[in-house]
Amino acid sequence: MRLRVRFAETDQLGVAHHSSYVIWLEAARIEWLRERGLSYRELEESGLSLMVSNLNVEYRQSTRFDDEIDLEVTLQELRSRQLAIGYRLRRRLLATATTTHIAADRTGKAVRIPADWLAAMLASC
């Protein structure tokens, strides 16, 4: 996924604010799912969500307003109730990140990831 750093995502020096990276990770993750025929909206409408249980970002270099960056997404781990996703943000290597997600119902109880979702994500490996 490619994006351009918007002015609202920068600090007073024109450097992308660290919190913007988290928003970009979410956008890339949802697009990665969409490319596999999976709709996060439909998952939520069915009463499930993929809650973030862990987030780690290692910042390598800064990026600035109007820079174009590419976000690469990879599935790192997939279990019946949990998945981990890896990210690389590049123009040059800007950051690496991982998010871990737990499948949960509307009450927050951990549940199994639907079989069709597991199959679609495994097919991408």
User: For residues 23 and 18, what is the distance between their CA atoms, to the nearest angstrom?
Assistant: 10
Looking at residue 5, its pLDDT comes to 97
- Report pLDDT for 100: 98
pLDDT of residue 36: 93
Which pLDDT tens digit goes with each residue over 50-99?
Answer: 999 999 999 999 999 999 999 999 999 999 999 999 999 998 999 999 99
29, 85 Cβ separation under 8 angstroms: yes
| pLDDT score of 124 | 73
**What average pLDDT is seen over the chain?**
95
Domains observed in the chain: 2-123 (3.10.129.10)
Distances (CA, A) of 123 to 4, 28, 35, 60, 61: 30, 18, 12, 31, 33
